[in-house]
Chains A and B, each alone.
Chain A
């Protein structure tokens, strides 16, 4: 069974002309775990992964597999399997000949081609031209390419995009299995909800910079907590909150106050002589924490 290597990003930066796509990004990815690489569209995920794979030259910094740069790996496809966002196929080639080309280039046995096509559920379409594939089938073919060398490290860029519900369920199990076998699995997504059932760790970036790193559960406590509070006399409640310097927004069921301490609000209201009709803490979901971190969603 192939074992995974540690992926290490060290101070990676990349500028495209005037645009800083990635800025001083550092993190490591451990074997035996599924790591979600998350961030909104344009955050720099694809750029970072392409730098890791030697397809894009970093402006500065290094990215390695077990200390070795991709281009220095003696057997790249046997060490790292990558499926990148863009559909990289000649439409006139069949799935089998597409994979066959790269099996030859990497010196892999031709039998691997049908093995991986079977593994991703495309065996029945092996002789079909890729030009006629659906988006979901292309995603699976991309995954088949990644698996060709039975690598210990998987780097997958948005692999869930375009999959049908059955495909999504399948890939979740697949990611878990790969990590359980001791492989390193790095999977990017712009939606936490897409991967939260399969990832152990999260690396979150926004505008090219690291904003959060840790186990999935760390998203629970990091979130800015909210307390929902309301009163028949809402204007005076707002005035009391403003006077106490507590930010709030107006939600569907009352005011969303930026504090995790309902007792504090109860005391403020009591002191201001405002009657309360609602007072309870809202536990932020992972998705809320994620959106708060990347700044794409609610401002509190």
Chain B
């Protein structure tokens, strides 16, 4: 156990002794702040009638987005989840790329333990990214909602449960990143997969799956859908036409965990325990 804790602190030191973490954190904050703030203004404007429905071409009539605050706050994970995946994937692929597996395994020859320590570390770092993203979505998004006279629900326990589940989701996404990194140790390939999958492939798959009830049920198990189910709100689920019931929040959590465990275990076998030459 002692050895494990030392490994965890070494993994933390690895993250915080290079510039990547704060660059990603700043970009994450700005991105989510902009989206949450901008869309909060748009939705709240429409809902409160400040912006006329005709102006946004919704076909007229009363528009309801359900409760706005959870929707706005969930941008932290529904859009921001790519950041923990990236830092997780970079943390593992960087070891291959810079050949730092050599000093790492010399200091701690038990490789499974090192990978476990890395996962634990990145789950916490991912949750830290969750804090950054939520600060942006709740702070800026909530501020804009209040400015439009919409109750930001900051004293509502539901809001804080959503915050807690978002932190969990962001941590699990970082673990998925670690798993992806051992599965695809080539850094460039890994980053391309992360970006292509999260930004194009999965959103399209979710949209395509949502039109039929059968495929919608399968689509619920896509990682992004599972994450939204865990968090409990998302701009993506709002937009789904077939309206199948999503997974329960804990089911979504287990699906995410399943992806992380599967990728990590398979990756351990295909790259982590192989010869370091």
Q: Which residues does A use to contact B, with CB under 8 Å?
A: 46-47, 50, 53-57, 70-71, 73, 76-77, 82, 84, 86-94, 97-98, 100-102, 104-107, 145
- Chain B residues lying within 8 Å of A84, measured Cβ to Cβ, are 102
Known: A56-B276, A88-B100. A71 touches B107 (CB 8 A): no
Identify which of B9-17, B51-59, B160-168, B220-228 touches chain A.
Answer: B9-17
| A94 in complex: contacting residue of B14, B17, B99, CB < 8 Å | B17
Q: In whole angstroms, what is the CA distance A76 to B7 when docked?
A: 14
26 cross-chain CB contacts under 8 A: A46-B277, A47-B277, A50-B276, A50-B277, A53-B106, A54-B105, A55-B275, A55-B277, A57-B275, A76-B106, A76-B107, A76-B108, A77-B107, A86-B99, A88-B99, A88-B100, A88-B101, A90-B14, A90-B100, A94-B17, A102-B10, A102-B104, A104-B6, A105-B104, A106-B6, A106-B107
Q: Report the separation of the CA atoms of residues A145 and B100 in the bound assembly, to the nearest whole angstrom.
A: 12
- Given A88, A92, A107, which contacts B102 in the complex, CB threshold below 8 Å? A88
Is B203 part of the contact surface with A, judged by Cβ < 8 Å?
A: no
Residues of A within 8 A of B94 (CB): 90
- Least CB distance from B185 to A in Å reads 15
Contacts of A93 in B (CB 8 A): 17-18
A residues in contact with B107, CB < 8 Å: 76-77, 102, 105-106
Contact A104 to B275, CB < 8 A, known contacts A71-B110, A88-B100: no
A110 smallest CB distance to B (angstroms): 10
A76–B108 CA distance with the chains assembled, in angstroms: 8
Please report the total number of B residues contacting A with Cβ < 8 Å. Answer: 29
A51 to chain B, nearest CB (A): 9
Interface residues of B in 80-134 (CB under 8 A from A): 94, 98-110
Q: In the complex, A228→B59 CA distance in Å?
A: 104
- Bound: A105/B101 CA distance, A: 13
- The one of A87, A91, A101 in contact with B14, judged by C-beta atoms closer than 8 angstroms, is A101
For B102, the chain A residues whose CB sits under 8 A away are 55, 84, 86, 88
B157 to chain A, nearest CB (A): 39
Which B residues form the contact surface with A (CB < 8 A)? 2-3, 6-7, 9-10, 13-14, 17-20, 94, 98-110, 275-277
Q: Point out which of B17, B19, B106, B276 has the most chain A C-beta atoms below 10 A from its C-beta.
A: B106
Q: Which residues of A contact B277 (CB under 8 A)?
A: 46-47, 50, 55-56
Alpha-carbon separation in the docked complex, A92 to B20 (Å)? 9
Contact call A87/B10, Cβ cutoff below 8 A: no
Kindly name the residue among A71, A89, A91, A101 whose own CB sees the greatest number of chain B CB atoms within 10 A: A101
Chain B residue at smallest Cβ distance from A131: B98
Taking a contact as CB atoms under 8 Å apart, the answer to whether A77 and B106 are in contact is yes
Closest B residue to A56 by beta carbon equals B275
Chain A: minimal CB distance from B89 (Å) = 15
Asked if B13 and A82 make an inter-chain contact with CB atoms under 8 angstroms apart, the answer reads no
Chain B residues lying within 8 Å of A50, measured Cβ to Cβ, are 275-277
Shortest Cβ distance from B105 into chain A, in angstroms?
A: 6
**Nearest-Cβ distance from residue B236 to partner chain A, whole angstroms:** 35
Task: Give the docked Cα–Cα distance between A19 and B53 (Å).
Answer: 72
For residue B232, give the distance in angstroms from its CB to the closest CB of chain A.
38
A85 to chain B, nearest CB (A): 10
Query: How close is B188's CB to chain A, nearest CB, in angstroms?
Result: 16
Q: Pick the most buried of B7, B103, B110, B276: most chain A CB atoms within 10 A of its CB.
A: B103
A57 and B273 alpha carbons, distance in the complex (Å): 10
Residues of A within 8 A of B14 (CB): 90, 101
Most B C-beta atoms less than 10 A away, residue of A56, A57, A97, A102? A102
Chain B contacts for A73, CB-based, 8 A: 109
Q: Which residue of A lies closest to B111 (CB)?
A: A71
Whether B103 pairs with A88 at a CB distance below 8 angstroms is: yes
Whether the pair B100, A89 counts as a contact (CB closer than 8 A) is: yes
CA distance A211 to B169 in the complex (A): 59
Task: A174 to B110: give the CA distance in the assembly, Å.
Answer: 31
